[in-house]
Structures are given as structure tokens and as C-alpha cells.
């Protein structure tokens, strides 16, 4: 489901009705009372609407409606995997707290949604491993949407605190939200992972990259991950493409290219637009030798949940271009 969710979200930023989960279909309280109304009124004229149910509120539109107070972690409600919770950011500083369990190894997606049904909330979601308070992340996702989504690697049996807040600290009776946690396969693929044990915080100690490699790493607080690559004589085009934020990682990353003399060739924290937080670098370079590529965080945070991949490309053309014209 994760790739499907991501694709659906990515395909329709800002649209009003991209994904319509099966909400509330099991609520048996709905509408059966009206059958006792045998006065012959045209049922479509609406004149007697609601008359049979008195002051009863609408049935909750989800499996786990919030039960205030739920602000404190000690008040967290249980949220089973694959079930929707729902409620309202209804007062200043309102926090909605849930506990969920990763029932298998995989990647957990936590999605707080509101945009598709006209919520006025700008949602932010926060997660924290209940056994390791440093293993936490938050995100107010994504450009073009007021929803929030996190996709992070989790181990089977880990228990998580999941909280929803309004990113702007506003509230109202139209700050409605819905929340789900699911486990699925990783949203990206890679060839090999970083090796922190080899000391990749130092410039020349990172693993070597070759054309076509896709590599994976995570960014703890104050972490930096170096990789190296060899540039032959000639004209070389280097392509670096990070996948993180756009696939639900909390990591807002930055990429820096270092020349063989350790000076900076290029540093970038955005993609094709300034709103794209996944860096993209396409650069023509001429200095032969061993180069370094650094990935670190442009934004705050850092934990084992702050994952990224780098797609690396390196293409060199012959060093003697122009020689034919000389003769
Ligand atoms: Ca609430
Ligand atoms: Ca609350
Ligand atoms: Ca790392
Ligand atoms: Ca590192």
C-alpha cells in the first residue's frame, strides 16, 4: 500500500479527492430508522429529514474516533494497524495521541489526512519509539498539501507513539483529521548501504560510488555521510539525485560535492524547484582524481528514521575533444 499511497498523493497534490478510503461502511447505526416513516411523504423532498433520530449525533466516521482528553502520552488510545482514527483539533494546543504496534518488519507509513475532505487543519504527525525516545521523527508533509505523511523502517514488535497536531497551532470545529498506520515494503530500492563503522563522517573514508549505483543511508543527529568517486581525465558529468522527503522520510537533506583538493564544487538542498526538498545535482566537472560526496541534514532533527537514497551517475567523454578542429 505504501507505494500506492505515495503515488496517489504525489499524483494529485492539492486536489480535492485523490484517495477515498473505505471509511465508516461498517457503521450499522446509519439510516435504518427512516423505514418506520410510513406517512407517504416523497422520501426525496427532505421535509422530514432527521426527524426520527432526535438529537443523536452522526455516527463516527472511522474505526477509532478520538476520545478526549488524549493530549498526554499516558492518555494515548490504541490504534490497530490498518484502521482509521479520526477527530478534530478543537482547542489551542490540542494534541491527539495514539499507540500502534509494528506487527512485522517493514516500513511503517503514518498518514494524517484532511485536505481531501476540506479540513482547515495544517496537519503535522510525530512518531516515537516507546522503547527508545531518541528514535523519533516528525513531518508536516507535503508541498501542495496540508496532509502529513511519514514512511520509516521499523522492526517487528516495536511500539510507537503517534501524535497529530496542527502545524500552525490553530484550531476550529473544521480542523478535522483522519489517521492511519500501515506496514509495507520500502518505497525505494538500493544496491548497498552506508557503513558508519568505517568512519564515513570523515571526507575520504566513505564507500566508493560508481556510475549507476543507488545507495542507502540514515542521518542521526549531527551525522554526515561521505561517499567517494573517481573522476578520470576528460569531461565528466556527475548526476546526484536524493530520494527521501518525497517518499515520506523525515529527512530534509543537503548534498555537497568536494573536489580532490577538498574545496566545494556544489552544495544543494533542493531539487528541480525550490519547494522540492530532495536535492538534485547535475554538474559538468573536469578535475581528475578522487572526489567526495557528502549527505547531511539541511533541516533539524536526525535519528535512525531519517533515511535517504542517492542515485549516482557518472559519465566521462574523451579528454581530446576539439583536437580534430585544430588540424
Ligand atoms: Ca482533539
Ligand atoms: Ca487532544
Ligand atoms: Ca549515516
Ligand atoms: Ca555518518
CA distance readout (Å), 106 to 153, 228, 239 = 6, 29, 30
- Reading the block at residue 313, the C-alpha cell is 551517475
Residue 324 lies in a domain: no
Element (H, E) at 229: strand 224-231
Q: Last residue of some domain: 137, 160, 184?
A: 184
Higher-pLDDT residue of 264, 53: 264
Residues 6+ apart with CB under 8 A from 168: 122
Q: Are residues 198 and 157 in the same domain?
A: no
CA of 198 to the centre of ligand 2 (A): 45
Domain of residue 283 covers 192-317
Q: What's the predicted TM-score (pTM) here?
A: 0.80
| pLDDT per position as a tens digit, 212-243 | 999 999 999 999 999 999 999 999 999 999 99
Q: Are residues 32 and 179 in the same domain?
A: yes
Q: Average pLDDT of 245-268?
A: 97
- Reading the block at residue 203, the C-alpha cell is 571526507
In whole angstroms, give the CA distance from residue 290 to residue 143.
36
Q: Are residues 156 and 73 in the same domain?
A: yes
Q: Are residues 115 and 221 in the same domain?
A: no
Residue 210 lies in a domain: yes
Q: Average pLDDT of 81-101?
A: 97
| pLDDT per position as a tens digit, 30-49 | 333 333 333 333 333 333 33
Q: Are residues 95 and 214 in the same domain?
A: no
Task: Provide the pLDDT confidence category of residue 251 given band limits of 50, 70 and 90.
Answer: very high
| pLDDT per position as a tens digit, 53-83 | 456 555 557 999 999 999 999 999 999 999 9
Return the pLDDT at 200.
Answer: 96
| CATH code of 94's domain | 2.60.120.380
CA of 4 to the centre of ligand 2 (A): 30
321: left (phi over 0), alpha (psi -120 to 50) or beta: beta
CA of 96 to the centre of ligand 3 (A): 31
Residue 223 lies in a domain: yes
In whole angstroms, give the CA distance from residue 322 to residue 208.
31
Q: Are residues 282 and 225 in the same domain?
A: yes
Residue 78 lies in a domain: yes
Q: Are residues 47 and 106 in the same domain?
A: yes
Ligand nearest to the CA of 94: 2
Tell me if residue 36 falls in helix, strand or coil: helix
Tell me if residue 118 falls in helix, strand or coil: coil
CA of 64 to the centre of ligand 4 (A): 40
Residue 243 lies in a domain: yes
CA of 105 to the centre of ligand 3 (A): 21
Query: How many CA atoms lie less than 13 Å away from 242 in the CB half-sphere?
Result: 33
Q: Last residue of some domain: 130, 160, 184?
A: 184
C-beta atoms surrounding 83 within 10 Å = 15
Q: Are residues 161 and 209 in the same domain?
A: no
Into how many domains does the chain fold? 2
Q: Indicate the range of 244-248, 251-255, 317-321 predicted with least confidence.
A: 317-321
Residue 295 lies in a domain: yes
Residue 202 lies in a domain: yes
Percentage with pLDDT > 70 across the chain: 78
Ligand nearest to the CA of 217: 3
Task: Provide the pLDDT confidence category of residue 159 given band limits of 50, 70 and 90.
Answer: very high
CA of 129 to the centre of ligand 1 (A): 22
Q: Are residues 175 and 198 in the same domain?
A: no
Answer whether residue 286 shows pLDDT above 70.
Answer: yes
Amino acid at each position: 500500500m505504501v507505494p500506492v499511497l505515495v503515488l496517489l498523493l504525489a499524483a494529485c497534490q492539492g486536489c480535492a479527492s485523490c484517495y477515498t478510503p473505505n471509511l465508516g461502511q461498517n457503521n450499522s447505526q446509519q439510516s435504518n430508522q427512516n423505514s418506520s416513516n410510513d406517512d407517504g411523504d416523497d422520501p426525496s423532498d427532505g421535509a422530514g429529514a432527521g426527524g426520527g433520530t432526535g438529537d443523536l449525533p452522526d455516527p463516527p466516521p472511522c474505526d477509532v474516533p478520538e476520545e478526549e482528553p488524549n493530549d498526554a502520552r499516558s492518555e494515548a488510545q490504541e490504534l490497530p494497524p490498518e484502521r482509521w482514527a479520526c477527530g478534530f483539533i478543537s482547542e489551542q494546543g490540542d494534541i491527539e495521541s495514539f499507540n500502534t504496534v509494528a506487527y512485522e518488519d517493514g516500513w511503517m507509513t503514518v498518514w494524517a489526512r484532511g485536505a481531501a475532505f476540506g479540513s482547515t487543519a495544517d496537519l503535522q504527525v510525530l512518531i516515537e519509539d516507546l522503547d527508545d525516545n531518541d528514535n523519533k521523527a516528525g513531518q508536516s508533509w507535503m508541498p501542495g498539501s496540508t496532509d502529513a505523511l511519514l514512511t520509516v523502517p521499523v522492526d517487528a514488535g516495536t511500539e510507537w507513539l503517534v501524535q497529530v497536531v496542527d502545524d500552525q497551532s490553530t484550531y476550529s470545529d473544521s480542523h478535522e483529521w483522519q489517521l492511519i498506520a500501515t506496514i509495507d515494503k520500502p518505497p525505494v530500492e538500493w544496491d548497498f548501504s552506508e557503513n558508519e563503522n568505517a568512519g564515513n563522517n570523515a571526507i575520504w573514508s566513505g564507500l566508493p560510488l560508481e556510475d549507476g549505483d543507488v545507495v542507502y543511508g540514515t542521518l542521526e543527529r549531527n551525522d554526515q555521510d561521505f561517499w567517494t568517486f573517481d573522476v578520470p581525465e576528460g569531461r565528466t558529468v556527475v548526476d546526484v539525485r536524493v530520494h527521501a522527503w518525497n517518499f515520506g522520510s523525515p529527512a530534509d537533506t543537503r548534498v555537497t560535492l568536494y573536489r580532490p583538493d577538498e574545496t566545494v564544487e556544489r552544495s544543494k538542498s533542493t531539487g528541480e524547484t525550490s519547494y522540492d526538498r530532495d536535492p538534485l545535482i547535475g554538474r559538468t566537472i573536469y578535475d581528475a582524481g578522487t572526489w567526495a560526496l557528502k549527505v547531511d541534514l539541511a533541516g533539524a532533527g536526525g535519528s535512525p528514521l531519517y533515511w535517504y537514497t542517492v542515485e549516482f551517475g557518472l559519465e566521462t567523454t574523451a579528454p581530446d575533444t576539439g583536437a580534430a578542429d585544430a588540424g
